[in-house]
Structure 1
Amino acid sequence: MRILRTDESRFRDLPDFPYPAHFTDVGTDSSLRLHYVDHGPAQAAPVVMLHGEHGWSYLYRHMMPLVADAGLRALAPDLIGFGKSDKPDSQQDYSFEKHLDWLEQWLLSLDLHDVTLVCQNRSSLLALALVMRQPDRFSRIIAANAVIPWAHEDDAPVSGLWQMFARYSPWFPVPQLIQLGTTRPLAKSELAAYDAPFPDDRYKAGARSFAGALRQHPRDLNRQRLWNFLESWQKPFITCFSDSDTGTRGAHRPLQRRIPGALGQPHTTLSGGHFLQEDASDSFARVIVDACRPTLAA
Structure 2
Amino acid sequence: MDALRTPEDRFENLADFAFKPNYISDLAGYEGLRAAYIDEGPVDADEVFLCLHGQPTWSFLYRKMIPVFVGSGGRVVAPDLLGFGRSDKPEDEEIYGFDFHRGFLISLIERLDLRNVTLVVQDWGGLLGLTLPIAPGVEERITRLIIMNTTLATGHPPSDGFMAWRAYSASRPDLPVGALMQRSTPHLSAEEAAAYDAPFPDARYKAGVRAFPKRVMTDPDMAGVDVSLAARTFWAEQWQGQSFMAWGAADPVFGLDIMNDMQQLIKDCPAPLIIRDGGHFLQEWGTEIAEAALKSFEAGVSARR
Alpha-carbon contact 1:35-1:85 (below 8 Å) kept: yes
Runs (5+) with no aligned partner, structure 2:
none
State the partner residue of 1:244: 250
Query: Which of residues 219, 227, 230 is equivalent to 2:232?
Result: 227
State the partner residue of 1:208: 210
Cα distance change on mapping 1:209 and 1:51 into 2, 3 Å: same
Partners in 1 of 2:161 and 2:273 — Cα distance? 28
Q: What one-letter code is carried by the residue in structure 1 that aligns with 2:243?
A: F
State the partner residue of 2:152: 148
Alpha-carbon contact 2:64-2:287 (below 8 Å) kept: yes
Cα distance change on mapping 1:88 and 1:122 into 2, 3 Å: closer
* CA shift for structure 1 position 161: 5.1
* CA shift for structure 1 position 157: 6.5
3-state DSSP of counterpart to 1:198: coil
- Pairing of 1:171-186 with structure 2 (within 5 A): 171-184=174-187, 186=188
3-state DSSP of counterpart to 2:50: strand
Between stretches 12-21 and 251-260, larger displacement belongs to 251-260
3-state DSSP of counterpart to 2:76: strand
3-state DSSP of counterpart to 1:41: coil
1:276 matched to 2:277: no
Partners in 1 of 2:166 and 2:280 — Cα distance? 19
Partners in 2 of 1:29 and 1:171 — Cα distance? 26
1:16 matched to 2:16: yes
State the partner residue of 1:139: 143
Length, aligned pairs only = 293
Cα distance change on mapping 1:291 and 1:115 into 2, 3 Å: farther
Alpha-carbon contact 1:41-1:72 (below 8 Å) kept: yes
Sequence identity of aligned pairs in percent?
34
State the partner residue of 1:36: 37
- Pairing of 1:87-106 with structure 2 (within 5 A): 87-106=89-108
Q: What one-letter code is carried by the residue in structure 2 that aligns with 1:256?
A: Q
TM-score, normalised via structure 1 length: 0.89
State the partner residue of 1:114: 116
Q: State the superposition RMSD in angstroms.
A: 2.5
Partners in 2 of 1:164 and 1:176 — Cα distance? 17
Alpha-carbon contact 2:98-2:224 (below 8 Å) kept: no
Partners in 1 of 2:199 and 2:233 — Cα distance? 37
Partners in 2 of 1:183 and 1:43 — Cα distance? 38
TM-score, normalised via structure 2 length: 0.87
Cα distance change on mapping 1:244 and 1:157 into 2, 3 Å: closer
* CA shift for structure 1 position 274: 1.9
* CA shift for structure 1 position 72: 0.9
Alpha-carbon contact 1:47-1:116 (below 8 Å) kept: yes
Between stretches 59-68 and 288-297, larger displacement belongs to 288-297
* CA shift for structure 1 position 167: 4.1
3-state DSSP of counterpart to 1:32: coil
